[in-house]
Amino acid sequence: MGDEFDERLKLTASTDVPAGLSASLEGEYDAGWSVGGGINGGFQLALLGQAMRATVPDKPDPITVSAGYLTASDAGPVTATTRILRNGGSLATVAGDLTQDGTPRLTALATMGTLAGLPVSELDRCEIPVPDLPPRDRCLSNELAPPEFRAVAPFMDRFEMLFDPRCVGWAMGQPSGRGMLQAWFRLPGGRQPDPLSLLLAVDALPPVSFDLGRPGWAPTLELTVHLRALPAPGWLRVRHETRVVAGGMFEEDCVVFDAADRLVAQSRQLARLPRG
Amino acid sequence: MGDEFDERLKLTASTDVPAGLSASLEGEYDAGWSVGGGINGGFQLALLGQAMRATVPDKPDPITVSAGYLTASDAGPVTATTRILRNGGSLATVAGDLTQDGTPRLTALATMGTLAGLPVSELDRCEIPVPDLPPRDRCLSNELAPPEFRAVAPFMDRFEMLFDPRCVGWAMGQPSGRGMLQAWFRLPGGRQPDPLSLLLAVDALPPVSFDLGRPGWAPTLELTVHLRALPAPGWLRVRHETRVVAGGMFEEDCVVFDAADRLVAQSRQLARLPRG
C-alpha cells in the first residue's frame, strides 16, 4: 500500500498486493472511527476503495461503488478481499468484501477508472445547485456538539464540519422536519480532499433522520456513490436530503461540491428509519 | 421457478432451485429483448431478480439492487447464479451473476425483503412530485416510433409506452436539450405491475441522452434500484432525467409512480454518453 491514504485510515497492510485477479489485505479499525452501532459506513467504504485501488493500480478511482452493509463492524482487525471481474479499456469492475472474524460485514461492487483522464464534452452541465451554505464563520462547528453526542460518535472528531445553523435544530430538540443537513467539510490538518476521501464525505454527517425528529442509529442497507470529478483543494460542501420516507426506510441523497463549485460526488443510500 | 413472471421473461428454468446458500438457473434470452448493443439492462436485472427471489423465497422482493454491467449480453442461453451473503430477520443480502458462455455479463447485489410487510410511520412522505404527464389520449405511443428505430430496439415492442409529447422532439431531430423523458408505461395484455417488473420499468425508456441531442447506445456502467412500495394495478408513470453530464458520463435518475400516485421505485444509473 504505502500511499498517504494509509496513514489517515490507519490501515496496517500486512500483505503485498500484486496487481492481479484477487487480493487480500489486513487492516485494523481504530475505535475512533465508531459511530452509534459500529464503524462508520463511509469509512469502511473508503478502506475497501483503497484495497480496490491496490488491485487495479492503473485505474485508481472508484467511478461508481455500490455497497451492501451486512452486519455492523467493530473496532479491531479487518480483512479486505477483492476480485477483478472485468478489466479492459479505461475501466475495471472489481468486487470487494470486508470481513471480521470470518464474517462478511460489507460487500461492494466498483467501477474503477481514472478521474483525471475523463473527456470533456460540450454537453457537460450540472443542474444541481451548489449548497446554499452561509459563510464558514456563521456556521456551527462539530466541536460544539454536546459531549454526550460526541461520546457516541467519536468518528465526528476525525473531520472539520461546519454546519448550516438552519439545519442543526435537532441538536437542541427542535428538528426542522425538512429532512436536510448541510455542512462545510474538510479533513483535519489542512489535508486536501482526494477521490477516496469523498467516500468518507458522503456518509460523514449525521443521518437526515435527525432533522426529521427521529434521532438514533439509522443503519444503511445500501449505499451507492458516483465520483464525478477530481476534487479541487479546499473545503468541500456536503448536502444530504431525503425526499421519500416509506416502509420504515428513507433514501438519503448526498451531493459534494468542491471549492471550485464543481460537483465531485453524488450518492444515494437507503437506510432504516430509527424506531420512534 | 414456475411463477407467472417466467412466461413474460421467457426464462426456461432447467434446474429446480432449493432455497439455500447458492443457486444456479438456466435460461434463454429472446432476441426480442434486444436494444442497441445487446439485451436490455433492466430486463437482465429482472431476470436476475427472479433468480434471487427463487433463492430466498420468503423474501421475494429486491428492496435494493445494484448492478454492474460488465459486457453486453446477446440473445441465447444465459446462466444465473446466486449466493446468499446474509439472511436474518426481515432482510437477506444476495449476490448474483448472469453469465453467457462462461463470461460474466452482469453482477449484482440485492437486499431482499417483503414489500407487502413493511411498516407505516407518521413520518412517511414523498416530496417527489408525480410526473406531470398529459392524459394518455394526448400522449404518443411507442408504436408510432419510426420503423428504423424499432428495428434497433425491438425490446420497446414488449411494452405499452405513451410518451409525453413535450419530450419526444428527438425522434424528429429536435431534442429539447433538457435531458428529461417521461411516459405512461404498462406491460402488454393488461398484465398488472409487480415488483420484478419495476426493474424493467426503470430502464425501458430510451436514455435521456436522446433528449440532449446525443442519440445512440448509452451503455450503463452501474444501475441501482430501490423498490419503495408494492405497485397498485394500472398504468405506471415513469420519469427519467439527468442533472449532471461530466467526464463522458451522465447519471440518469428514474422515478416510477403507480396508479394510486404512489412512488413505487427510484433508480439511478451512471451511463456513458454516446460519442458526438
Of B13 and B125, the one with more pLDDT: B125
Parallel/antiparallel/unpaired status of strands A263-272 and A220-227: antiparallel
Residue with cell 430502464: B203
Residue with cell 470529478: A229
Residue A144 confidence (pLDDT):
84
Tell me the average pLDDT across B126-152.
91
Contact yes or no for B239/B131 (Cβ under 8 A): yes
Residue B214 confidence (pLDDT):
93
Residue with cell 473508503: A46
Residue with cell 437507503: A270
CA–CA gap between residue A214 and residue B32 (Å, rounded): 48
Of B267 and B157, the one with more pLDDT: B267
CA–CA gap between residue B164 and residue B138 (Å, rounded): 8
pLDDT at B198 over 90: yes
Contact yes or no for B32/B155 (Cβ under 8 A): yes
Task: Tell me the percentage of chain B whose pLDDT exceeds 70.
Answer: 92
Query: In the Cβ-directed half-sphere of A148, how many Cα atoms lie within 13 Å?
Result: 3
Residue with cell 468518528: A155
CA–CA gap between residue A41 and residue A39 (Å, rounded): 6
pLDDT at B58 over 90: yes
Residue A171 confidence (pLDDT):
86
pLDDT classification of B14: cutoffs 50, 70, 90 = very low
Return all residues near B194 (Cβ < 8 A) that are at least 6 apart. Answer: B5, B231
* Distance (Å) of CA A205 to CA A41, A175, A209, B59: 11, 15, 11, 31
Per-residue pLDDT of chain A (276 residues; tens, 9 = 90+): 334 444 445 554 445 455 556 777 788 888 888 887 789 999 899 989 988 998 899 999 999 999 999 999 988 889 999 999 999 899 999 999 999 999 999 999 999 999 998 999 999 999 999 999 999 999 999 888 878 877 878 888 888 999 999 999 998 889 999 999 999 999 888 889 999 999 999 999 999 999 999 988 899 999 999 999 999 999 999 999 999 999 999 999 999 999 999 999 999 999 999 987
Q: Is the dihedral of CA A112, A115, A116, A119 positive or negative?
A: positive
Q: Is the dihedral of CA A196, A91, B106, B115 positive or negative?
A: positive
Query: Which residues 208-247 in chain A show a CB within 8 A of chain B?
Result: 212-214, 221-222, 224, 226, 228-229, 243-247
Q: Is the ipTM of this complex over 0.90?
A: yes
Nearest to A254 by CA among A176, A210, A200: A200
Residue B7 confidence (pLDDT):
41
Chain Cα centroid distance, residue A250: 17
Q: Determine the Cα angle at A73 with ends A230 and A276, to 5°.
A: 95
Q: What is the mean pLDDT of chain B?
A: 89
Residue B18 confidence (pLDDT):
52
Alpha helices (H) along chain B: 5-9, 41-55, 147-152, 195-201
Contact yes or no for B180/B241 (Cβ under 8 A): yes
Q: Where are the beta strands (DSSP E) in chain B?
A: 22-29, 34-35, 38-39, 61-69, 76-88, 91-100, 103-113, 125-126, 140-141, 160-163, 180-186, 220-227, 236-241, 244-246, 249-257, 263-272
- Classify residue B219 as exposed, middle or buried by CB count within 10 Å of its CB (0-12, 13-18, 19+): middle
Return all residues near B148 (Cβ < 8 A) that are at least 6 apart. Answer: none
Return all residues near A90 (Cβ < 8 A) that are at least 6 apart. Answer: A59, A113, A114, A117
Contact yes or no for B267/B238 (Cβ under 8 A): no
CA–CA gap between residue B157 and residue B43 (Å, rounded): 13
B42-45: long-range pairs with CB below 8 Å, 24+? B42/B199, B42/B200, B42/B201, B42/B202, B42/B203, B42/B204, B42/B223, B43/B9, B43/B155, B43/B200, B43/B203, B44/B73, B44/B98, B44/B105, B44/B106, B45/B106, B45/B108, B45/B199, B45/B200, B45/B203, B45/B223, B45/B225
CA–CA gap between residue A254 and residue A232 (Å, rounded): 18
- How far does A135 lie from chain B, in Å, by closest CA? 25
* Distance (Å) of CA A30 to CA A12, A152, A232, B160: 11, 15, 28, 54
Do B273 and A121 make contact, defined as CB atoms within 8 angstroms?
Answer: yes
State whether residue B274 sits within 8 Å of chain A by CB: no
Tell me the average pLDDT across B82-95.
93
Residue B21 confidence (pLDDT):
65
Of B34 and B138, the one with more pLDDT: B138
Helix (H) or strand (E) holding A269: strand A263-272
pLDDT at B146 over 90: no
Nearest to A67 by CA among A110, A5, A21: A110
Name residue A268's beta-bridge partners.
Answer: A224, A253
Do A244 and B128 make contact, defined as CB atoms within 8 angstroms?
Answer: yes
**Quick one: closest CA in B to A253, which residue?**
B268
State whether residue A126 sits within 8 Å of chain B by CB: yes
CA–CA gap between residue A40 and residue A149 (Å, rounded): 15
Residue B20 confidence (pLDDT):
57
Residue A125 confidence (pLDDT):
97
State whether residue B70 sits within 8 Å of chain A by CB: yes
Residue among A61, A245, A258 with most chain B CBs within 10 A, to mutate? A245
Nearest to B196 by CA among B83, B50, B98: B50
User: Using a CB-CB distance cutoff of 8 angstroms, which residues of chain A are in contact with residue B226?
Assistant: 222, 251, 268, 270
Tell me the average pLDDT across B210-215.
93
Which range among A160-169, B37-46, B229-238 shows the weakest confidence by mean pLDDT?
B37-46
pLDDT at B148 over 90: no
User: Using a CB-CB distance cutoff of 8 angstroms, which residues of chain A are in contact with residue B107?
Assistant: 85, 93, 95, 109
Residue among B112, B226, B254 with most chain A CBs within 10 A, to mutate? B226
Contact yes or no for A107/B107 (Cβ under 8 A): no
Do B127 and A64 make contact, defined as CB atoms within 8 angstroms?
Answer: no
pLDDT at B261 over 80: yes
Residue A21 confidence (pLDDT):
63
pTM over 0.80: yes
A-B CB pairs within 8 A amount to 167
